[in-house]
Amino acid sequence: MIAIQTKYIPATNHRSSRIKVWTSNGMDLIVPFDSSVKNAYFLAVEKFKEHFELDWNINNMCYGSTNDGMVFCFNESQVEPSGKFYTTIDVPL
């Protein structure tokens, strides 16, 4: 499973607010923060997917909030009651 992390970056005197999007495998991107939409973090993940030309279906991702933003993961990656991890999709780690 791969998690897509996001972090809100507040505005400075020289730049507007942004969202940083990254994964544990080293891909990262900073996109403008659009405060006019409710799903700004998910839209940032969509831009991340487009930028890196990833063939990932992100329509049914699970997500949760952190102190700085949100984390998204694929709902196909699950933990069995035995504690064993498994996934039903092929996502590069």
pLDDT digit string, tens, across residues 5-50: 999 999 999 999 999 999 988 999 999 999 899 999 999 999 999 9
Which pLDDT score is estimated for 79? Answer: 62
- Name the token pair of 73: 């993961």
| CB neighbours of residue 56 within 10 Å | 16
SS3 50: helix
Mean pLDDT, to the nearest integer, of 70-86? 71
The model's pTM is: 0.78
Q: Which value, in Å, is the radius of gyration of the alpha carbons in the chain?
A: 14
Phi-psi region of 53 (alpha: psi -120 to 50; beta: other; left: phi over 0): left
Mean pLDDT, to the nearest integer, of 57-77? 86
- Name the token pair of 12: 């400075």
Query: In 3D, which of 38, 26, 32, 43 has the Cα closest to residue 10?
Result: 32
Which pLDDT score is estimated for 5? Answer: 96
Q: Which one-letter DSSP state was computed for residue 76?
A: T
Between CA 49 and CA 29 the distance in angstroms is 10
